[in-house]
Amino acid sequence: MKACVIIPTYNERENISGLIELLINVFKSIKSHEMHILVVDDNSPDGTANAVKIYTRKYSNVHLITGEKNGLGSAYIRGFNHVKEEFDAVVMMDADFSHDPKKIPLFLEELRDFDFVIGSRYIDHGETPDWNLSRKIISRGGNFFARIVGGLYKVHDCTSGFRAIKTSLLKKVDFRYLSTKGYAFQITLLYELFMSGAKIKEIPIVFYDRRVGKSKLSKKDIIEFFLNSYRLRLRTGERFAKFTTIGFIGIIINTFLLWLLTMVFGIHYLVSGVIAIEVSILLNYIFNDLYTFSDNIDSTNYFGRMLKFNGVALYGFLINLSILYLLTAYTGLNYLVSNLAGIFAATIWNYFAVLDYTWRVKSVVYYTRKSIFSTIKVKTGS
Ligand code: GDD
Ligand code: MN
């Protein structure tokens, strides 16, 4: 395997040289993999990049990219994009010795069976020995929030910065949706990988306090972190709400047309029914394309999508009718109530089918469908 340790740095001149030397040493014990280091420095004013350049000249497997300071998340995204084609795996770690490089062989070993390995402080044998009570509470509290609000219950340490990921999985993540620039990036990345069905494993780590320099965590990062946890969930809910609103309008249009054609124009009610359904499906498509899926990135043409939508909706209509019939005939439920159950089932079907098939939304929403039907293996401990 070809693996790259990515280290984002901002003013880490006093740490980075020692860390690179330590890593080079650890690499000597890793015989079965080709190991590299990539430092992503954001033009640190303290001259971190110059310290790294000494090593890029000395070792062919030490690399450096520099850029504008845009936060931890965007540094990682630049790093990922730089290596993902050429490498099989990346290891994410901090420059300040909080993460022990000697753990890296273990991360790589776990990557044989898992896609995403998280160094966890909050499982058995995980530790934060240097922290006082208030720091522990803050970190635990943040994690708890992300686990519940973000829907990431199964992972104990969602904010850990010590991780290993297979690049085959990183390639699946659409980084355009990873909009978080700062530390909230850790959560968003976890969320995206989790939802795309990554096999995740947490292994215990000891997190030490940084030796020198200051933490770069700002108030802005903390606010972003909390808002981001909500956004992860709402991103799924918002689109669904738009979809059902339009669906509801569609039912009203359908009913009105059925009445109009039958009563005013004297057409047979079954013929009126077919016309009313088809018209409301087409209108539904037009509105959804404009509103619910305005961020559509599928290149299929407008009418091709319309046809697909039509197919999905007709199948949904069959689901609706079957449930209406089955519930009414076999359970004696009132036909209006049965119909509501039918509408509900058809709406769920329509939503997930059009997401995947008609609009091919490549976001968390799209992955949510998979996450419902596939079991995600999350193991903890070692
Ligand atoms: N390139 C770049 N740009 N690097 C950055 C930036 C940035 O804007 N901000 C921070 N870094 C680098 C730091 O130089 C360091 O190597 C690493 O990111 C972590 O930053 P710290 O400032 O040391 O973070 P921390 O110790 O408060 O936070 C740690 O714990 C968090 C919560 O568990 C890290 O492990 C985080 O990744 C983790 O989310
Ligand atoms: Mn740190």
Mean pLDDT of the chain: 87
Which of 20, 183, 214 maximizes ligand 1 atoms within 8 Å of its Cβ, making it the mutation to test the pocket? 183
Task: Read off the pLDDT of residues 22-41 as tens digits, 9 standing for 90 and up.
Answer: 999 999 999 999 999 999 99
Span 294-302, mean pLDDT? 71
Return the number of other C-beta atoms located less than 10 Å from residue 181's C-beta. Answer: 18
Per-residue pLDDT, 100: 97
Give the model's pLDDT for residue 234: 67
Cβ of residue 342 lying under 6 Å from some atom of ligand 1: no
Per-residue pLDDT at 148: 77
> How confident is the model at residue 284, as a pLDDT?
94
One-letter amino acid at 53 equals: K
Q: What is the mean pLDDT of residues 272-289?
A: 92
Confidence of residue 236 (pLDDT cuts 50, 70, 90): low
Identify the DSSP state of 31: -
Amino acid identity for residue 189 in this structure? L
Give phi and psi for 299, each to the nearest 5: -90, -5
Please state the atom number of ligand 1 nearest to the C-alpha of residue 214: 22
Tell me: pLDDT of 203 over 50.
yes
Distance in Å, CA 85 to ligand 1 centroid: 25
pLDDT digits (tens, 9 = 90+) for 145-178: 888 777 787 899 999 999 999 999 998 887 776 7
Cβ-in-10-Å burial (0-12, 13-18, 19+) of 340 comes to middle
Q: Give me ligand 2 centre to Cα 380, in Å.
A: 24
71 lines ligand 1 (CB under 6 A): yes
Give the tokens for residue 83: 């290596």
Spacing, Cα 371 to ligand 1 middle (Å):
30
- Ligand 1 atom with the shortest distance to the CA of 15: 16
Decide whether any atom of ligand 1 lies within 6 Å of the 16 Cβ: no
Whether this model's pTM surpasses 0.85: no
In angstroms and rounded to an integer, the radius of gyration of the C-alpha atoms of the chain is 26
Phi, psi of 340, deg, nearest 5: -60, -45
Asked if residues 72 and 216 have their Cβ atoms less than 8 Å apart, the reply is yes
Q: Is the CB of 94 under 6 A from ligand 1?
A: yes
Residues surrounding ion ligand 2 at CB below 5 Å: 94, 96, 98, 210
Residue 367 has pLDDT above 60, yes or no: no
48-62, 273-287, 367-381: which is most confident = 48-62
Structure tokens at 5: 């340790």
